[in-house]
Amino acid sequence: MAKLNWGMIGGGEGSQIGPAHRLGALADGHFILAAGALDHRAEVGRDYAMRLGVAPDRAYGDWQEMLAGERNRADRVELVTVATPNSTHFEITKAFLEAGFNVLCEKPMTVTVEEGEEIVRIAARTGKICAVNYCYSAYPMVRQARAMVRAGDIGKVRLVVTNFSHGHHGDAADADNPRVRWRYDPAMAGVSGQFADCGIHALHMACFICDDEVEKLSADFASTVSGRVLEDDAMVNFRMAGGTVGRLWTSSVAIGRQHGFDIQVFGETGGFRWASEQPNQLIYTPVGGRTQIIEKGEGGLYDDAKRLSRVAIAHPEGFPLAVANIYCDLADVIRGTERDGLPSASSGVRSMAAVHTAVASAKAGGAWMDARPPMFR
């Protein structure tokens, strides 16, 4: 099967998420890195792209140059990854979709709900893929969890409790580090800091596993590091359309917690827990029964979990392979195979609506508010 040409915007040398995209996209041989505008400094980005093996004429200085250079090539890239800071996602994603490229956009997909709705409409109009990198949803044991909910293995879901709380922005002396600072700067990050950065992964995960959507929410935000404009800690209560009760805590000042992303789902006949730091196990308890560990790679998993398990049981799989699962599904969809579970632009705009609702709710003392984007009300 011919490899697909792939291009990347952002994710330059030393960036946080860039390596995971390269490991993920290249892991299965579906893609080759053919083009890139990898850095906000043109020469630095060009140099790094060439060191990664991109041909000099496709190592671009910025995304506009890349769009102009790629759009009329016979061998143009078939997928563009946008891994730049949040405030740039909308204009880059919009421009590439409108020029007929498939896009994988980092989360949050946009900064405003209106922009998010526009992206959903452009993707529908152009027929191009606009996926959002909610990569945690591609861990095999998360797919197992979703399949168990769908199969009724824990009965109707009553309650979902999720945390994405780490302590890596808790050092006030490091608050001016450029990789930290933009996350709390409204001009770069938008209206929300930690909730838009990490909380939306947890919210997406709750929706993904429960196969449901958030309908309304109530939020409490705090900015605990002196001088920080946007929140670095948030508690969000939510209700899903199907009645499930949701609780979410997200923080970047929880010193001692490392990655800190976990989810517990409690149904009428059982419950389970998944944690990103032990991603290969799903801890399951049927009502009245013993707690069991369901392992990635064991027999009897649901199909999607089986399909996305790469190496034998007990061999650890981790974050880059979850990202690789997103790229595998993208390659399949580009080549014409349907894939259920690829996070779409609709998920992206639902997240943005939740972010803006949480900001408004926190300002209104935690008032309950409709969290759906207008286009899905």
Output the smallest distance, CB 183 to ligand NAI, in A. 8
Enumerate binding residues for ligand NAI (CB under 6 A).
Answer: 9-12, 15-18, 37, 39-40, 62-63, 83-86, 88, 106-107, 133, 135, 179, 197
Q: In terms of CB distance, is 84 or 346 closer to ligand NAI?
A: 84
Output the smallest distance, CB 88 to ligand NAI, in A. 5
Output the smallest distance, CB 70 to ligand NAI, in A. 14
Is residue 256 packed enough to be buried (19+ CB in 10 Å), middle (13-18) or exposed (0-12)? exposed
Q: In terms of CB distance, is 148 or 358 closer to ligand NAI?
A: 358
Output the smallest distance, CB 45 to ligand NAI, in A. 6
Give me the helices (H) in the chain, please. Answer: 18-26, 42-51, 63-70, 89-98, 113-126, 140-151, 178-181, 186-189, 194, 200-210, 303-308, 319-334, 345-363
Q: In terms of CB distance, is 42 or 369 closer to ligand NAI?
A: 42
Residue 199's CB: how many other CB atoms inside 10 A? 30
Token readout for 278 is: 């032990």
Q: What is the dihedral of CA 54, 55, 60, 63, to 10 degrees?
A: -60
Residue the block writes with tokens 């952002």: 10
Q: In terms of CB distance, is 86 or 357 closer to ligand NAI?
A: 86
CA 13 remoteness from chain centre:
21
Output the smallest distance, CB 190 to ligand NAI, in A. 10
Is residue 223 packed enough to be buried (19+ CB in 10 Å), middle (13-18) or exposed (0-12)? middle
Q: In terms of CB distance, is 39 or 233 closer to ligand NAI?
A: 39
Q: In terms of CB distance, is 37 or 354 closer to ligand NAI?
A: 37
Output the smallest distance, CB 132 to ligand NAI, in A. 9
Token readout for 41 is: 């400094």
How are the residues of the chain apportioned to helix, strand and coil, as percentages rounded to the nearest 5? 40, 25, 40
Q: In terms of CB distance, is 62 or 185 closer to ligand NAI?
A: 62
Q: How many CA atoms lie within 13 A of 144 on its CB side?
A: 26
Q: In terms of CB distance, is 301 or 349 closer to ligand NAI?
A: 349
Residue nearest to ligand NAI (CB): 12
Output the smallest distance, CB 141 to ligand NAI, in A. 17
SS3 assignment, position 53: coil
Output the smallest distance, CB 366 to ligand NAI, in A. 26
Distance separating alpha carbons of residues 45 and 10, to the nearest angstrom: 8
